[in-house]
Amino acid sequence: MPKKLVILSGAGISAESGINTFRDENGLWEGHDIMEVASPRGWENNPKLVLDFYNKRRRQLLEVTPNNAHIAIARIENEFDVTIVTQNVDDLHERSGSRTVIHLHGELLKARSSFDEDLIYDWKEDINIGDFCEHNSQLRPHIVWFGEAVPMMQPAIEKVSEADILMVVGTSMQVYPAASLVHYKKVETPIYFIDPKPNISKSEIPNLEIIADKATIGVPHAISMLTRI
């Protein structure tokens, strides 16, 4: 049986493909307070603003391609049982060939009903005011906003708890509840933490290997180490 490798990925891996995180140093997204464009209240107050914000992100996503880190992760599926748990809402893991991807924060290339959250549609175009579901309710981005439940959290916890190896790439693991995932691993499960400016130390987490590089360099390095285990 191949070893179970779980990869926790975040914005850093997609940034190298040219995905703009939209988050400025002052905490604004494209000049907007986060809660204006990423919360149920923001949606209620100004749905057009929210749709415009995510329409721009969707258009940008369709113009970029997976990078070497995404591709290296997809290729390792030949040797390991790989599950990706990502905080990213893009589809770059899937486009690189990864088969099992859990999206904690939703998916940009999907829309869902504002009436029934289980009505989810593949969606590559803009979502406009007046685009309705079959219940005549406005479609919204299939994104987990601040203050909303994270429905894929439990499946992610289960995968991490079963992992033989854990890899963290492109995320500082500071945003909760995603940051809590590392605490569900088995004590003996090694962690490969890839970040150009790592904010954790080996004294904090058992069996931690730190690779202080960006994703496109660090992921192939980590994989070369894994294949020697």
Residues known to be catalytic = 105
Say how far apart CA 53 and CA 28 lie, in whole Å: 12
Say which residues have a Cβ less than 8 Å from residue 24's Cβ, sequence separation at least 6: none
Evaluate the omega torsion of the peptide bond into residue 177 and state whether it is cis, within 30 degrees of 0: yes
CB 219 within 8 A of CB 194: yes
Question: How large is the greatest C-alpha to C-alpha distance in the chain, in angstroms?
Answer: 56
CA distances from 108 to 29, 57, 92, 121 (A): 16, 8, 11, 11
Say how far apart CA 170 and CA 158 lie, in whole Å: 21
The tally of CA atoms less than 13 A away on the side-chain side of residue 84 is 30
CB 110 within 8 A of CB 143: no
